[in-house]
Structure 1
Amino acid sequence: MKILVLGATGRVGSQIIPRALEDGHDVTILVRTPDKIKVIDENIHIIQGNALNKNDVESVMAGVDIVISALNTDGTNTLSESMQLILEAMKKEDVKRIITIGTAGILQSRVTPGLLRYQSSESKRKSTQAAQEHHRVFDMLTDSEVEWTIVCPTYLPDGDCTSKYRVESSFLPEGGTVITVGDTAEFTYQQVKSTKFLKSRVGIAY
């Protein structure tokens, strides 16, 4: 299987790559600074480029089976701008499947039905800028024809994979307050092999 990874130098993306290589997949990485990728493997293809550049995104999409995007917001509109280009390139190359990293803020609120967590008192974050950007991406994926999954971690400190966590479609597991980068990467990668959460947001927490 050919997997395109975006955001490969980030905390979650960098932990997805070795899992894919270990399973023998062909991994293509689009990255602005190739020197940041320290993995050496015959099945990894490191392409210098920018997810905000239409030509760069199109150039790495040919022959791809699955896109994994672990891009972050950077405090800007990076996510929504890049997602527009990704979806256009996926349509052009007939790529059907994308898995992205979102935020628990775009899951449904338990305390205020009809609202997302970041729109309700359930969220404790003072700034909603990042959640709004993730919300825009959620809307774009919902309106698209691709088979998408958004993995939505809550507070995300560095930490190893324990493989002991809870997940729930559309909601954050009750009482969940934290999930490590390692476990988030593991669950995200598992979606490559699963159809359980197609066209779903998935909350993940301990």
Structure 2
Amino acid sequence: MKIALFGATGRVGGEVLNLALAEGHEVTALVRSPEKLAPHDRLTIIQGDVRDVAAVSTAVAGMDVVFSSLGTDQTTTLTEAVPHMIRAMEDTGINRLVTIGTAGILQSKIDPEKLRYEAGDTNRRLTFAAEEHHKVYNMLRQSGLEWTIVCPTYLPDGVAVGDYRTERDLLPEDGKQISVGDTAAFAYGELLQGDNIGFRVGVSY
């Protein structure tokens, strides 16, 4: 499989990159700092900015699926980049997209008509990241793509142990955290298998 990867130098993206290469897939990664990635014979590195539509189109061209673990970092990079991904995928007939979101955009259990960050399920006072991911969720819902948004809760570093729970559109009951390794493992599996197309998926221990 040929995978376009955005966010390859980040924590989750880096783990997904390692999983994909270890299983023999070909990966094209668009990054600002190529020196952060180790060379590999099945890895094509494109230096560029995800906010540049031409760079995104180049990264997506000829791929089978797209994976994004782009975050917000108190910028609008995410919401500037995702429309370029959607356009590039639609232009080239690529349907499958898996992205990493945040548990804040899962449905609230306090008020099911709202998302967790809107209803106060989370203690986070700053909602900028959730608002940006909410915009992406709306973009994907309006697209014709086969998308899945993987929504981890608190995300400490850690290896994959496999003992986690998932739930469509909701955070598993009493879910408190999920390691970077297990988040990457679940998201990578979802990219290949497509078990939750058209859903946000809460993931936690």
Q: TM-score range by the shorter chain?
A: over 0.9
1:132 maps to which residue? 131
1:22 maps to which residue? 22
Rounded Cα–Cα distance in structure 1 between residues aligned with 2:51 and 2:45 = 17
1:157-199, Cα deviation, whole Å (9 max, x unpaired): 1111111100000000000010010100100100122121001
1:8 maps to which residue? 8
Give the Å deviation of 1:42.
Answer: 1.2
Rounded Cα–Cα distance in structure 2 between residues aligned with 1:4 and 1:193 = 13
Give the Å deviation of 1:123.
Answer: 1.1
1:40-83, Cα deviation, whole Å (9 max, x unpaired): 32111111111100110111111111100010102011111100
- Which moved further from structure 2: 137-146 or 112-121? 112-121
State the secondary structure of the residue aligned to 1:60.
helix
1:101 maps to which residue? 100
Output aligned runs, 1:6-155, within 5 Å: 6-38=6-38, 40-155=39-154
Rounded Cα–Cα distance in structure 1 between residues aligned with 2:30 and 2:194 = 25
- Structure 2 residue runs without a partner (length 5+): none
State the secondary structure of the residue aligned to 2:3.
strand
Rounded Cα–Cα distance in structure 1 between residues aligned with 2:63 and 2:135 = 24
Give the Å deviation of 1:121.
Answer: 2.1
Which TM-score applies when normalising by structure 2? 0.98
Rounded Cα–Cα distance in structure 2 between residues aligned with 1:45 and 1:93 = 19
Give the counterpart letter for 1:196 in structure 2. Answer: D
Which TM-score applies when normalising by structure 1? 0.98
1:118-142, Cα deviation, whole Å (9 max, x unpaired): 0012111001110000000000000
- Structure 1 residue runs without a partner (length 5+): none
State the secondary structure of the residue aligned to 2:125.
coil
Question: Does residue 188 in structure 1 map to residue 187 in structure 2?
Answer: yes
Q: Pairwise CA RMSD of aligned residues?
A: 0.8
1:173 maps to which residue? 172
